[in-house]
Protein backbone atom coordinates (compact mmCIF):
# COMPACT_ATOMS: atom_id res chain seq x y z
CA UNK A 1 0.00 0.00 0.00
CA UNK A 2 2.71 2.40 0.96
CA UNK A 3 4.30 2.49 -2.47
CA UNK A 4 1.08 3.73 -4.03
CA UNK A 5 1.23 7.40 -3.22
CA UNK A 6 -0.78 10.34 -4.52
CA UNK A 7 -2.93 7.95 -6.55
CA UNK A 8 -0.08 7.09 -8.91
CA UNK A 9 1.04 3.67 -10.01
CA UNK A 10 4.50 2.62 -8.84
CA UNK A 11 5.54 2.06 -12.47
CA UNK A 12 4.81 5.60 -13.52
CA UNK A 13 7.93 7.58 -14.39
CA UNK A 14 8.76 10.97 -12.97
CA UNK A 15 8.40 12.26 -16.53
CA UNK A 16 4.80 11.06 -16.75
CA UNK A 17 3.91 12.11 -13.23
CA UNK A 18 4.88 15.73 -13.69
CA UNK A 19 3.00 16.10 -16.97
CA UNK A 20 5.27 14.71 -19.68
CA UNK A 21 6.65 16.69 -22.60
CA UNK A 22 4.51 19.80 -22.01
CA UNK A 23 6.02 20.30 -18.56
CA UNK A 24 9.62 19.98 -19.76
CA UNK A 25 8.96 22.26 -22.75
CA UNK A 26 7.53 24.89 -20.40
CA UNK A 27 10.46 24.56 -17.99
CA UNK A 28 13.11 24.92 -20.66
CA UNK A 29 11.31 27.74 -22.50
CA UNK A 30 11.19 29.78 -19.31
CA UNK A 31 14.78 28.90 -18.46
CA UNK A 32 16.03 30.15 -21.85
CA UNK A 33 14.01 33.36 -21.53
CA UNK A 34 16.15 34.00 -18.47
CA UNK A 35 19.36 33.06 -20.27
CA UNK A 36 18.49 35.34 -23.21
CA UNK A 37 18.49 38.35 -20.85
CA UNK A 38 21.51 37.31 -18.81
CA UNK A 39 24.67 39.35 -19.47
CA UNK A 40 26.97 36.57 -18.19
CA UNK A 41 25.30 33.53 -19.72
CA UNK A 42 23.99 34.80 -23.05
CA UNK A 43 27.46 35.39 -24.58
CA UNK A 44 28.47 31.81 -23.70
CA UNK A 45 25.91 30.31 -26.06
CA UNK A 46 27.59 29.98 -29.44
CA UNK A 47 24.53 30.18 -31.66
CA UNK A 48 22.68 33.39 -32.51
CA UNK A 49 19.38 31.54 -32.13
CA UNK A 50 18.85 29.90 -28.74
CA UNK A 51 16.13 27.65 -30.21
CA UNK A 52 18.39 24.67 -31.01
CA UNK A 53 20.02 24.81 -27.56
CA UNK A 54 16.55 24.92 -26.01
CA UNK A 55 15.55 21.84 -28.02
CA UNK A 56 18.67 19.88 -26.95
CA UNK A 57 18.17 20.71 -23.29
CA UNK A 58 14.45 19.83 -23.37
CA UNK A 59 15.14 16.47 -25.03
CA UNK A 60 17.93 15.73 -22.57
CA UNK A 61 15.74 16.41 -19.52
CA UNK A 62 12.82 14.42 -20.92
CA UNK A 63 15.09 11.45 -21.45
CA UNK A 64 16.78 11.80 -18.06
CA UNK A 65 13.44 11.68 -16.23
CA UNK A 66 12.16 8.61 -18.05
CA UNK A 67 10.60 10.01 -21.23
CA UNK A 68 11.47 9.24 -24.86
CA UNK A 69 15.12 8.63 -25.78
CA UNK A 70 15.13 11.15 -28.63
CA UNK A 71 18.08 13.04 -27.13
CA UNK A 72 20.43 10.08 -27.42
CA UNK A 73 19.05 9.10 -30.83
CA UNK A 74 20.13 12.52 -32.09
CA UNK A 75 23.14 13.36 -29.95
CA UNK A 76 24.54 10.06 -28.68
CA UNK A 77 25.67 9.61 -25.09
CA UNK A 78 25.12 12.87 -23.17
CA UNK A 79 28.70 13.18 -21.79
CA UNK A 80 27.67 16.49 -20.34
CA UNK A 81 30.91 17.41 -18.59
CA UNK A 82 32.77 16.88 -21.83
CA UNK A 83 30.23 18.90 -23.81
CA UNK A 84 30.60 21.78 -21.36
CA UNK A 85 34.40 21.75 -21.49
CA UNK A 86 34.57 24.49 -24.19
CA UNK A 87 32.70 26.88 -21.86
CA UNK A 88 33.93 28.61 -18.72
CA UNK A 89 31.61 27.21 -16.08
CA UNK A 90 32.77 28.95 -12.89
CA UNK A 91 30.89 29.71 -9.69
CA UNK A 92 29.27 32.84 -11.17
CA UNK A 93 28.00 30.96 -14.25
CA UNK A 94 26.78 28.14 -12.00
CA UNK A 95 24.91 30.58 -9.77
CA UNK A 96 23.31 32.40 -12.71
CA UNK A 97 22.31 29.12 -14.36
CA UNK A 98 20.70 27.84 -11.16
CA UNK A 99 18.90 31.13 -10.58
CA UNK A 100 17.16 30.86 -13.95
CA UNK A 101 16.41 27.22 -13.30
CA UNK A 102 14.87 27.99 -9.90
CA UNK A 103 12.73 30.65 -11.51
CA UNK A 104 11.61 28.23 -14.26
CA UNK A 105 10.82 25.41 -11.83
CA UNK A 106 8.71 27.81 -9.78
CA UNK A 107 6.38 28.38 -12.75
CA UNK A 108 5.48 24.69 -13.05
CA UNK A 109 3.27 24.34 -9.98
CA UNK A 110 4.57 20.84 -9.25
CA UNK A 111 3.72 18.70 -6.28
CA UNK A 112 6.21 19.82 -3.57
CA UNK A 113 7.97 16.43 -3.46
CA UNK A 114 8.44 16.36 -7.23
CA UNK A 115 9.59 19.96 -7.19
CA UNK A 116 12.14 19.19 -4.48
CA UNK A 117 13.41 16.17 -6.39
CA UNK A 118 13.84 18.14 -9.59
CA UNK A 119 15.59 20.97 -7.76
CA UNK A 120 17.97 18.60 -5.95
CA UNK A 121 18.97 17.10 -9.27
CA UNK A 122 19.57 20.51 -10.86
CA UNK A 123 21.72 21.64 -7.91
CA UNK A 124 23.76 18.45 -8.08
CA UNK A 125 24.11 18.52 -11.88
CA UNK A 126 25.06 22.22 -11.96
CA UNK A 127 27.73 21.63 -9.30
CA UNK A 128 29.18 18.78 -11.31
CA UNK A 129 29.43 20.99 -14.43
CA UNK A 130 31.82 23.50 -12.83
CA UNK A 131 35.12 23.26 -14.70
CA UNK A 132 36.83 26.53 -13.78
CA UNK A 133 37.80 27.70 -10.27
CA UNK A 134 36.84 31.12 -8.97
C1 LIG B 1 26.26 25.15 -14.43
C2 LIG B 1 26.08 26.03 -15.40
C3 LIG B 1 25.88 25.68 -16.85
C4 LIG B 1 26.24 26.46 -17.89
C5 LIG B 1 26.91 27.83 -17.79
C6 LIG B 1 25.88 25.77 -19.11
C7 LIG B 1 26.11 26.24 -20.39
C8 LIG B 1 25.88 25.54 -21.55
C9 LIG B 1 26.22 26.00 -22.85
C10 LIG B 1 26.91 27.32 -23.17
C11 LIG B 1 25.84 25.04 -23.74
C12 LIG B 1 25.97 25.06 -25.26
C13 LIG B 1 24.65 25.38 -25.88
C14 LIG B 1 24.29 24.43 -26.96
O15 LIG B 1 24.79 24.62 -28.06
O16 LIG B 1 23.53 23.47 -26.71
C17 LIG B 1 25.23 23.97 -22.97
C18 LIG B 1 24.70 22.83 -23.51
C19 LIG B 1 24.01 21.89 -22.79
N20 LIG B 1 23.82 21.88 -21.44
FE21 LIG B 1 24.55 23.20 -20.15
N22 LIG B 1 25.29 24.58 -18.81
C23 LIG B 1 25.27 24.47 -17.43
C24 LIG B 1 24.74 23.42 -16.71
C25 LIG B 1 24.02 22.38 -17.26
C26 LIG B 1 23.35 21.36 -16.48
C27 LIG B 1 23.32 21.29 -14.96
C28 LIG B 1 22.76 20.51 -17.38
C29 LIG B 1 21.94 19.29 -17.11
C30 LIG B 1 21.11 19.16 -16.11
C31 LIG B 1 23.06 21.00 -18.70
C32 LIG B 1 22.64 20.42 -19.87
C33 LIG B 1 23.05 20.79 -21.13
C34 LIG B 1 22.72 20.06 -22.35
C35 LIG B 1 21.89 18.78 -22.44
C36 LIG B 1 23.34 20.73 -23.40
C37 LIG B 1 23.35 20.32 -24.87
C38 LIG B 1 24.40 19.20 -25.06
C39 LIG B 1 24.50 18.76 -26.51
O40 LIG B 1 25.28 19.35 -27.24
O41 LIG B 1 23.80 17.82 -26.88
N42 LIG B 1 23.83 22.13 -18.59
N43 LIG B 1 25.27 24.32 -21.65
pLDDT number for residue 1: 45
Average pLDDT over residues 14-27: 98
> How many CB atoms sit inside 10 A of residue 60's CB?
19
What burial class does residue 101 get, using C-beta atoms within 10 Å of its C-beta: 0-12 exposed, 13-18 middle, 19+ buried?
Answer: buried
pTM: 0.93
Give the architecture (CATH level 2) of 16-129: Orthogonal Bundle (1.10)
Q: pLDDT tens digits, residue range 50-83?
A: 999 999 999 999 999 999 999 999 999 999 999 9
Task: Provide the 10 A C-beta neighbour count for residue 41.
Answer: 19
- Collapse the DSSP code of 104 into the 3-class scheme (helix H, G, I; strand E, B; otherwise coil) and give the result: helix
The minimum-distance atom of ligand 1 relative to the CA of 101 is: 27
Residue 128 confidence (pLDDT): 97
User: Where are the domains positioned within the chain?
Assistant: 16-129
Residues near ligand 1 (Cβ within 6 A):
41, 44-47, 53, 56-57, 60, 75, 80, 83-84, 87, 89, 93-94, 97, 125-126, 129
Q: Give the mean pLDDT of the chain.
A: 94
In terms of DSSP H, where are the helices of the chain? 14-17, 21-36, 51-64, 70-75, 80-84, 91-106, 112-129
Which atom in ligand 1 lies closest to the alpha carbon of residue 129? 1
Q: What is the mean pLDDT of residues 27-41?
A: 97
Amino acid sequence: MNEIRRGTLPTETFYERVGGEATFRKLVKRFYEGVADDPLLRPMYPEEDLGPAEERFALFLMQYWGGPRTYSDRRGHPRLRMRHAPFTVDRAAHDAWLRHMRDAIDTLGLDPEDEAEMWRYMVYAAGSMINTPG
